[in-house]
């Protein structure tokens, strides 16, 4: 079976439940947030559309303001509150149905063993190729994360890093957006390193 080719026009980004009430509960929350914000910048540069969710926002608060959703403008095609743990709610499924050319989803957020896992399993069941951003997911208990990622791999998801996924999406340094892309990768190198040290060292 040939390796899957990740391309920006056929890819959606899913931002899962990075909310204010989780700030003091999630291991490496600041690094998860930094990676999520990095993915928003990548989405903006490459033109990838974004779907965001909150889990019971009335109780758990909005998406943290550190994540700059405003900057991506119309690329944010959905921002839904939910009670299901999976992001694949009826509203999100209806939105996916309007994007028949999409074959891949890049998924990041919290918690790795609950909402991220269930979202990925639902997307895989719908025949999407699912990429998990390993330096962009976490849980309250860090010991849950490697087990969740192992299960995701076994289920058919591709576990990678924010930088690897970003470079796969752009694919070619001859593209006109590469100058802005390269500048941003350099600009974010310190936060990328920190996120890797905190979120990947125990995997």
pLDDT, one tens digit per residue, over 51-107 is 999 999 999 999 999 999 999 999 999 999 999 999 999 999 999 999 999 999 999
For the whole model, what pTM was predicted?
0.97
- Active site annotation includes 122: no
Rg (CA), the chain: 15
Which runs of consecutive H residues, i.e. helices, occur in 126-188?
Answer: 144-155, 162-170, 178-187
Return phi, psi of residue 153, to 5°: -60, -45
16, 17, 38, 122: the catalytic one is: 17
16, 38, 48, 115: the catalytic one is: 115
- Active site annotation includes 38: no
38, 48, 82, 135: the catalytic one is: 82
Nearest to 14 by CA among 146, 106, 137: 106
129-175: pLDDT as tens digits: 999 999 999 999 999 999 999 999 999 999 999 999 999 999 999 99
- Active site annotation includes 82: yes
Which domains are present in the chain?
8-199 (3.40.50.850)
């Amino acid at each position: 079976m040939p390796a899957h080719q990740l391309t920006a026009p056929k890819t959606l980004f899913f931002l899962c439940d990075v909310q204010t009430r989780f700030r003091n509960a999630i291991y490496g929350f600041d690094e998860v947030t930094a990676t999520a914000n990095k993915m928003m910048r990548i989405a903006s540069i490459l033109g990838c559309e974004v779907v965001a969710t909150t889990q019971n926002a009335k109780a758990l608060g909005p998406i943290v303001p550190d994540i700059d959703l405003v900057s991506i403008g119309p690329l944010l095609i959905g921002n839904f509150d939910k009670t299901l743990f999976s992001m694949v709610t009826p509203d999100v499924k209806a939105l996916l149905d309007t994007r028949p050319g999409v074959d891949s989803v890049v998924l990041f957020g919290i918690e790795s063993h609950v909402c991220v896992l269930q979202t990925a399993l639902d997307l895989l069941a719908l025949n999407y190729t699912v990429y998990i951003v390993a330096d962009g997911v976490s849980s309250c208990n860090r010991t849950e994360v490697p087990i969740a990622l192992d299960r995701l791999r076994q289920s058919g998801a591709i576990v990678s890093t924010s930088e690897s996924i970003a470079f796969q999406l752009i694919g070619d340094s001859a593209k006109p957006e590469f100058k802005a892309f390269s500048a941003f990768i350099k600009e974010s190198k310190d936060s990328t390193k920190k996120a890797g040290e905190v979120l990947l060292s125990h995997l």
